Structure 1
Amino acid sequence: MLAGKDIQVDRDSDVPIFRQIVTQLSFMIENGELESGQTLPSARLLADNLNLNRNTVAHAYAELGELGLVRSRGRGGTVVVGPGAERTSTPAHDRARAILDTATRQCIELGLSASEIQALVTALALRAEEDQLKVAFVECNAERAGYFARELSEHVGLTVKPLVLGEFDAARERADLVLTTFFHLAEVRGLWRGRDTEVVAIVVAPHVRTLVRIAAVPKNRTVGIWYTTEDQATSIRDSLAETGLTNITVLHGTSDEDIEGVDLVVIPSELLELKARFDGRVKVIEFGNVLDAASIRMVTEVVSDMRAAKRR
């Protein structure tokens, strides 16, 4: 059972106390000190042991839940889920484990105890985490948020966190830079208003192949847009209209009546399972979205400038 003495908090640190708790518990779960299925002390009990406000521990537990490391079972308490097979088998995780294995063995040879090494690693990890530039991408559905966050991560050389509108608390999301599309810019800026976070809009454009196939549909016929949300479908329709394609309509369903007179249905490339709803009745293509090249250059420059500012 986890005890208060297993967690150390530094009240003089610039790192928020809840973040110190998250980092230490994450380390203990990753390292196997806290095993899957193990119940953590209640937020009230751990707070009492550490002489903290209960909400501080509750905040830390909530963030661990968002990381997929613990799960709340109501009156059954908060249970460790563990890092999971996918998380532990990633190349980055394996490389980090090898680096830490070598470093900890060298520390043991220097005469440090396991608890001293853990405290040192925790302090260094907290400092490194604070120094790391935090970037998020906000969209209105999880598939698009995840897809473009991964694309942006590859271009800017750091992890971009995907966030879905309506499914996160902006007050608890720490970010130096928040990226979104122009369609959601005003809403996203409102969520981070008054905070030291830069919000930037990027252009997500349809792939040329998508435009060519849509343009090939006779003008007296109709192209239907089917997305998980009507707002997103409407946004796609408006984007296509700006390119001169006006025979576009937003589909409100997938019945024969809904697709009557429709020659082609466009679905999101990140949700190909939607294609089965139209099989055998109408042609279906993916709406292949791509990041605008100018937007990528702009984001790369912004990230570079912000990294330099953090170093200073």
Structure 2
Amino acid sequence: MQIHISNDGPPIYQQIVDQVRFRIVSGVLHCGDELPTIRGLAEHLRVNPNTIARAYRELEHEGLVEKRRTTGTFVAESVQQRTAAQRRQMMGPHLDKLLILSRQLGFDTEELIALLRKHDQRFPPLDGPS
């Protein structure tokens, strides 16, 4: 699993949480998939293992992953039922920013929708989760 850490962004544990959450909610990681070990990911990212442990605890608290004693950390089985709502929730802040920017630039909602449709034609359809 490839995780990118930035020193000038949110705290490292939060970057890890956000990236793993995105992979789970978007369907890149599936129920039962094993996450890297805390020590292995810490070595790979060159961060303190406590940082990874904190990120995994937060993901576990959200119900996205589950620790299995002596075997590792896995994507929770219950995730599949919640992902559609979580994907919509993840889009909320981005939609807010888009709406604010479009209003600041003088576009109304219909113009914004037309622009979205025009730009959407440039991208192939995805076969991902709906």
TM-score, reference length from structure 2: 0.65
Q: Cα distance 1:79–1:107, how it changes in 2: closer, same or farther (>3 A)?
A: same
Verify the 8 A CA contact 1:26 1:69 in the aligned structure 2: yes
Secondary structure, aligned partner of 2:70: helix
Secondary structure, aligned partner of 2:66: strand
* 1:54 alignment partner in structure 2: 49
RMSD: 3.1
Match of 2:80 among 79, 84, 98: 84
* 1:63 alignment partner in structure 2: 58
- Please identify runs of 4+ aligned residues in structure 1 that moved more than 6 A: none
Q: Using the alignment, how far apart are the partners of 1:32 and 1:92 within structure 2?
A: 10
Q: Using the alignment, how far apart are the partners of 1:16 and 1:95 within structure 2?
A: 19
Q: Using the alignment, how far apart are the partners of 2:120 and 2:21 within structure 1?
A: 21
Gaps of 5+ in 1: 111-312
Letter aligned with residue 32 of structure 1: G
Q: Percent identity?
A: 36
Q: Cα distance 1:48–1:91, how it changes in 2: closer, same or farther (>3 A)?
A: closer
Which aligned pairs between 1:38-187 and structure 2 lie closer than 5 A? 38-81=33-76, 83-85=79-81, 87-90=82-85, 93=88, 96=91, 106=119, 109=122
Secondary structure, aligned partner of 2:16: helix
* 1:7 alignment partner in structure 2: 3
Verify the 8 A CA contact 2:25 2:86 in the aligned structure 1: no
Match of 2:22 among 10, 13, 27: 27
For residues 184-218 of structure 1, what are the alpha-carbon distances to aligned partners after superposition, in whole Å with 9 as ceiling and x for unaligned? xxxxxxxxxxxxxxxxxxxxxxxxxxxxxxxxxxx
Higher relative helix content: 2
For residues 263-302 of structure 1, what are the alpha-carbon distances to aligned partners after superposition, in whole Å with 9 as ceiling and x for unaligned? xxxxxxxxxxxxxxxxxxxxxxxxxxxxxxxxxxxxxxxx
Verify the 8 A CA contact 2:14 2:55 in the aligned structure 1: yes
Q: Cα distance 1:40–1:91, how it changes in 2: closer, same or farther (>3 A)?
A: closer
Q: Which has the higher contact order (CA 8 A, sep 6+)?
A: 2
For residues 68-109 of structure 1, what are the alpha-carbon distances to aligned partners after superposition, in whole Å with 9 as ceiling and x for unaligned? 000000211000116331x23449738949x7xxx7x94894
For residues 35-59 of structure 1, what are the alpha-carbon distances to aligned partners after superposition, in whole Å with 9 as ceiling and x for unaligned? 1101111010001000110000010
Letter aligned with residue 65 of structure 1: E
Q: Using the alignment, how far apart are the partners of 1:91 and 1:44 within structure 2?
A: 29
Larger Rg: 1
Letter aligned with residue 49 of structure 1: H
Q: Using the alignment, how far apart are the partners of 1:12 and 1:107 within structure 2?
A: 31
Verify the 8 A CA contact 2:26 2:83 in the aligned structure 1: no
Verify the 8 A CA contact 2:35 2:75 in the aligned structure 1: yes
* 1:173 alignment partner in structure 2: none
Secondary structure, aligned partner of 2:33: coil
* 2:113 alignment partner in structure 1: none
Q: Cα distance 1:84–1:106, how it changes in 2: closer, same or farther (>3 A)?
A: same
For residues 97-140 of structure 1, what are the alpha-carbon distances to aligned partners after superposition, in whole Å with 9 as ceiling and x for unaligned? 9x7xxx7x948948xxxxxxxxxxxxxxxxxxxxxxxxxxxxxx
Verify the 8 A CA contact 1:88 1:94 in the aligned structure 2: no
